[in-house]
């Protein structure tokens, strides 16, 4: 049971908030008192999340495509119009894309994944850090992946985009630490989300559960992680409890990325 109220009086933007890591982070942050701007391209699902979490008008939902700079500017403006500041930013929205060998991947799919996973993160950083620099305060968590710190195979665009997120995180942390802003990334491994389920279905079809069981046999903890475990890390990094953590990319994968 969550009893801490670390986000009382704080305003946090969460992208990709209608499902997966974003949804669970939104629930965690709301339970700790945050006012939230929930962002997702899927407006219907987003409104359902808002209705579930909303207390006293402390949550607004903005349907937006993070790969479009004008949409990013719109969700930042909506936040400022409503709350006047941005204390935290979970820059999370992303997709996996199709799985294929590099030679067969295709430029169209490569471009589509990078637009959402890398351009979207950059647009979010650009717009939010401008506000935080004026405040001289704030915390950002970007969603990278273990696919951003090592090779995973058959995911050229996903790996390239997530390596790019790690680079953006490190670069921006160096730039903005002087303004009292901490910028970090998380690198989730095999976390059981709809996106991971989709990936397993691409490999195993109706036998995806068996594929998943085989996949986690190499994990030191012999299981998938949960979205709640990830949201606990996100909340900690956004809470301001450890302000000297800056520029880090923190794996949350049961130790698997250290095994090879």
Are 100 and 218 members of one domain? no
Are 131 and 176 members of one domain? yes
Are 213 and 105 members of one domain? no
| Sign of the CA dihedral running 143, 148, 151, 157 | positive
Are 144 and 243 members of one domain? yes
Are 156 and 201 members of one domain? no
At 174, which CATH number?
3.40.50.720
- What pLDDT is stored for residue 260 in this prediction? 61
User: 């992680």: which residue's tokens?
Assistant: 225
C-alpha triplet 65, 120, 25: angle, nearest 5°:
80
- What pLDDT is stored for residue 207 in this prediction? 82
Active site residue 176: no
Query: Based on the structure, what is the number of domains in the chain?
Result: 2
Are 242 and 144 members of one domain? yes
Are 208 and 235 members of one domain? no
Which domain, by its residues, includes 49?
11-189+226-254
**Of the listed 75, 105, 158, 176, which one is catalytic?**
158
- What pLDDT is stored for residue 218 in this prediction? 87
Q: How far apart are CA 232 and CA 254, in angstroms?
A: 15
- What pLDDT is stored for residue 57 in this prediction? 79
pLDDT tens track for 45-66: 999 999 999 778 799 999 999 9
CB atoms within 10 A of CB 115: 18
| Sign of the CA dihedral running 38, 41, 45, 47 | positive
Are 197 and 178 members of one domain? no
120-135 and 156-176 helices, crossing angle to 10°:
10
Q: How far apart are CA 240 and CA 237, in angstroms?
A: 7
Q: Is 145 helix (H, G, I), strand (E, B) or coil?
A: coil
Are 88 and 196 members of one domain? no
Q: How far apart are CA 25 and CA 14, in angstroms?
A: 8
Report yes or no on 259 lying in a domain. no
Centroid of chain to Cα 35: 18
Are 21 and 114 members of one domain? yes
pLDDT tens track for 174-227: 999 999 999 999 999 988 887 777 778 877 888 887 778 887 888 999 999 999
Are 147 and 214 members of one domain? no
pLDDT (tens place) for every residue of the chain, 260 residues total? 555 799 999 999 999 999 999 999 999 999 999 999 999 999 999 999 999 997 787 999 999 999 999 999 999 999 999 999 999 999 999 999 998 999 999 999 999 999 999 999 999 999 999 999 999 999 999 999 999 999 989 999 999 999 999 999 999 999 999 999 999 999 999 888 877 777 788 778 888 877 788 878 889 999 999 999 999 999 999 999 999 999 999 999 999 888 76
């Amino acid at each position: 049971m969550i009893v801490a109220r670390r986000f009382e009086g704080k305003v946090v933007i969460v992208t990709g908030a209608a499902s997966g890591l974003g949804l669970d982070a939104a629930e965690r942050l709301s339970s700790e008192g945050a006012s939230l701007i929930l962002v997702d391209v899927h407006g219907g699902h987003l409104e359902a999340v808002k209705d579930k979490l909303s207390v006293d008008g402390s949550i607004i939902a903005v349907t937006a495509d993070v790969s479009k700079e004008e949409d990013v500017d719109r969700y930042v403006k909506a936040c400022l119009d409503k709350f006047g500041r941005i204390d935290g930013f979970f820059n999370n929205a992303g997709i996996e894309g199709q799985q294929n060998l590099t030679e067969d991947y295709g430029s169209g799919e490569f471009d589509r994944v990078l637009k959402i996973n890398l351009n979207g993160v950059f647009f979010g950083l650009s717009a939010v850090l401008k506000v935080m620099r004026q405040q001289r305060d704030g915390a950002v968590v970007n969603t990278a992946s273990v696919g951003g710190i090592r090779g995973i195979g058959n995911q050229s665009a996903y790996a390239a985009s997530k390596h790019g997120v790690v680079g953006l995180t490190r670069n921006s942390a160096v730039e903005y630490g002087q303004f009292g802003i901490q910028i970090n990334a998380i690198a989730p491994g095999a976390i059981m989300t709809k996106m991971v389920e989709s990936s397993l279905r691409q490999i195993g079809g109706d036998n995806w559960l068996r594929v998943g069981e085989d996949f986690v046999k190499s994990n030191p903890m012999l299981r998938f992680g949960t979205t709640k475990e990830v949201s606990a890390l996100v909340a900690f990094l956004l809470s301001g409890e450890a302000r000297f953590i800056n520029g880090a990319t923190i794996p949350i994968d049961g130790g698997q990325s250290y095994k090879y």
